[in-house]
Structure 1
Amino acid sequence: MMQLITGPLLVTSGLGSAWSDYAAGMLKPLAALVIVLVAVIMSFIQKLDLEKEMIYAIARSFLQLSVIGFILEFIFKQKNLIWIMLAYIFMVVVAGYTAGKRAKHVPYGGYISGASIFLGTFFTMVFLVVLNVFPITPRYIIPVAGMMVGNAMTVTGVTLKRLRDDLRLQISMVETALALGATPRQATLKPIKKALVIALSPVLDNAKTVGLITLPGAMTGLIMGGASPLEAIQLQIVVMNFLLGAATFSSILSTYFCWPFFFTKTQQLESKVFYED
C-alpha cells in the first residue's frame, strides 16, 4: 500500500520541484523584458507601427521556448532514438512551412522547401553520425539538427523567392531562349545561379568571419559549460562545415524541385506563377 501511495507522491513532488526551479530561474529573463519595453517605446516615438508585432513576437517566443524546454527535458531523458527522428521530422515540417510562406508565389513552395530541407540535412546528419562527432543521443543530435534545419530553412526560402522574382523580371529573356531551342533548365540557368549566390552569401560571410565578430552558438555553449576553448573550436569547425554543406545542398535541391512548376507541359512559362500577385 505504501508503494502505491508514495509512487504518485514522488512523481508529483518531482514535477513540483521542476516547476519551482523553472519559475525561480525565469526571474532574470522576465527582468530582461525591460529592453523590449524600451524598444516598443522607441518604435512608438518613431511611429514605426511595430509595437504590436514586437509584443506578439516576444510573447510567442516566450511561450514557445517554455514549452520546448519542458519537451526537451523529457526527450533528453529517453534512450529510444525514435524521439530524435520525431523531433527532426517536426523541425523539418515547421521549417518547410516557414520557407514556403516566404516563397508564397512558388507552386507547392512548402512541399518543395520541406523536401529540400529534409534531403539536404538528412544526408548531412547521416555523415555526422558516421564520423561519430557527437554521441548519438537526443541531447547532442537534436540541437545540431536544429541548427542545420534552421540554416537550410533560411537559405531555401530566400532561394525560391529570389528565383521566382528574378524570372518574373526576365520573362522576355527566358522566352527568347526557349524560342531559340533552349531547355527550361538552360533558359533559367543564370537566374538560378544568381538566386543561389544571393541566398548563400550570408552563410559564406558568416563562415569567413566566424570567431572574429561573433562566437557561434555551439562554441559559446561549450565554453560556458566549462570546455577548453581549443576543444570548442574543433567542434565548431565541424559544425560550421556541416551547416554550410546542409544549406548548400538544400538550396540547390530546391531549384531542381521548383523549376518544373514554372513551366507548362509544352515547356512554356506558366503565366499564373509570374503574372499573379
Structure 2
Amino acid sequence: MTIILKNFMRKYSLKKSWSCQLHHIIRTSGGGRFLTLSLSLSPIHILLISSRNIRISYQLSQMASLISATAQNHTDIAQSNFIQGLFADQVLVSLPEFLANMDFSWMVDFLKGMVKPLAATVVVFLAVALSYVEKLGLGREMIYSICRAFVQLSIIGFVLQFIFTRDNAVWIVLAYLFMVTVAGYTAGQRAKHVPRGKYVAGASILAGTSITMFLLLVMRVFPFTPRYIIPVAGMMVGNSMTVTGVTMKRLRDDIRTQMNLVETALALGATPRQATMQQVKRALVISLSPVLDNAKTVGLISLPGAMTGLIMGGASPLEAIQLQIVVMNFMIGATTVSSISSTYLCWPAFFTKAYQLETKVFTSE
C-alpha cells in the first residue's frame, strides 16, 4: 500500500502539504483477521475498515462520492477516479461502531484470573497482624510492598503480552535495557556511598549479562524471540543486580575499616589494585557465595524458577532440568563477570590520580 501511495503522489504531482499516512494494524479475532487502514488526506480524515467478519451498513458509493468531491478542490478528475478505485473495497465506520466490534473478552478473563491472587492476600494480612502484635513496625511496609508488587506485576503482564504479540527484536532489546537500568539503579542504592554507584552498577550488570546473552545466542541455546530471551535475561539481570550491589558495598566497607593497611601498602609503592587485593577477594567471595550455594543445592531443597515454570506448563521434567542447567551455568557466568567488573570500576572512585585514598568516600557512615 505504501508503494501504491508513493506512485500515486508521483504520478499526479500532489502537493507536499497533502500528508498521507498509512497504518496497518492486524489483529486476530474469533479466528478471523481484519485490517484497519487509517488514511489522513488533508483536509479530510477518513477511517476505513476492511474486514472478513465485520459488515457495516454504509454504501461504498457514498464514500467514493465524498472523496471525489473533496479531491476536486485540489487536483483533477483523474486523481478522484484513482482514489475511488483505490478504496473500492473499503467501508466507512465511526469510532463508536469500531469500538463496539472490538473483543474485550481478554479483559474479562484477566479480571476473573485475578480473583485467586487477591484471595492470597489473606496470608499477607496475617503477617501484618503478627507484626502488629509483636510490635515490629513492619505492617505498613508489608502492605506497601504487596500493593506495589501487585501493580508492577499487573503492568508488566500487559507489557509482555504486547511484546510477545509483536515478536520484534527492537522490543526485546528495549526490554533488556530497561531491566538493566532498573537493576543498576537498585544496586547503586544499596552501595549508596560509592560515588556514581548507579552508573558503576549499571555498567557492570550490562557487561556481565550482555556477554553471557551473546554466548547464549551464538550457541543457539534459545531462539531470539521475546518468549525465551526476556525471561532468561530477567533471571540473569536479577541475580547480577544482587551480587553487584553486595560486592560494591562490601568492598567500600572493608577498605573503610582497613584504611591504615591500604595506606601503608600504597606508601610502600603498591598500586591501588595490589593494596586492596585482599578486600576485593573478600567482597567477591561474600557476594558470590549465595549463588554457588544455590547451585550446590539446586533440586535438593527447592526447584528453581525456570524448571518449575516448565513443569507447571506441561513440559517433561527431563527437558526442564536440561534447560535449568543451561540457565544456571549462564547465571553463574553473568554474576561473576558483573561482580568483578564492579570492583574494577570502583577503583577510580576510591583513589586519586596520585594513588591516594579518596578520604571523603570513606568518612561517611
Q: Which of the pair is proportionally richer in strand?
A: 2
* Residue 228 of structure 2 corresponds to residue 137 of structure 1: no
* Residue 189 of structure 2 corresponds to residue 101 of structure 1: yes
* Residue 266 of structure 2 corresponds to residue 178 of structure 1: yes
Distance 2:96 2:196 in 1: 49
Cα 1:123–1:275, aligned 2, differ >3 Å: closer, same or farther?
A: same
Matches within 5 A, 1:1-277: 2=56, 3-5=91-93, 16-277=104-365
Q: Deviation at 1:14?
A: 5.1
Distance 2:103 2:245 in 1: 40
State the one-letter code of the partner of 2:324. Q
Q: Deviation at 1:13?
A: 5.7
CA displacement, residues 227-265 of structure 1 (integer Å, 9 cap, x when unaligned): 110110111000000001000000000000011210111
Q: Which of the pair is proportionally richer in helix?
A: 1
Distance 2:262 2:170 in 1: 47
Distance 2:92 2:216 in 1: 45
* Bigger relative contact order, structure 1 or 2 (CA pairs below 8 A, ≥6 apart): 1
Aligned length: 277
Q: 5+ residue gaps in structure 2?
A: 1-48, 50-55, 57-90
Cα 1:43–1:198, aligned 2, differ >3 Å: closer, same or farther?
A: same
Q: Deviation at 1:4?
A: 4.6
Q: Deviation at 1:11?
A: 6.4
Distance 2:256 2:103 in 1: 56
Cα 1:12–1:74, aligned 2, differ >3 Å: closer, same or farther?
A: farther
Distance 1:7 1:239 in 2: 47
Larger Rg: 2
Q: Deviation at 1:79?
A: 2.4
Distance 1:140 1:81 in 2: 12
CA displacement, residues 191-222 of structure 1 (integer Å, 9 cap, x when unaligned): 00000000000000000000001111110111
Question: Aligned-residue CA RMSD in angstroms?
Answer: 1.5
State the one-letter code of the partner of 2:278. K
Q: Deviation at 1:135?
A: 1.6
Q: What corresponds to 2:41 in structure 1? A: none
State the one-letter code of the partner of 1:224. M
**Hey, which bits of structure 1, 4+ residues long, moved more than 3 A?**
3-15
Distance 2:96 2:109 in 1: 20
SS where residue 231 of structure 1 aligns? helix
Cα 1:9–1:94, aligned 2, differ >3 Å: closer, same or farther?
A: farther
CA displacement, residues 23-63 of structure 1 (integer Å, 9 cap, x when unaligned): 00000000000000000000111111001110000000000
Distance 2:294 2:329 in 1: 12
Q: Deviation at 1:152?
A: 0.2
State the one-letter code of the partner of 2:344. Y
Q: Deviation at 1:16?
A: 2.1
Q: 5+ residue gaps in structure 1?
A: none
Q: Deviation at 1:134?
A: 1.2
CA displacement, residues 75-130 of structure 1 (integer Å, 9 cap, x when unaligned): 00112200000000000000000000000000110000000000100010011111
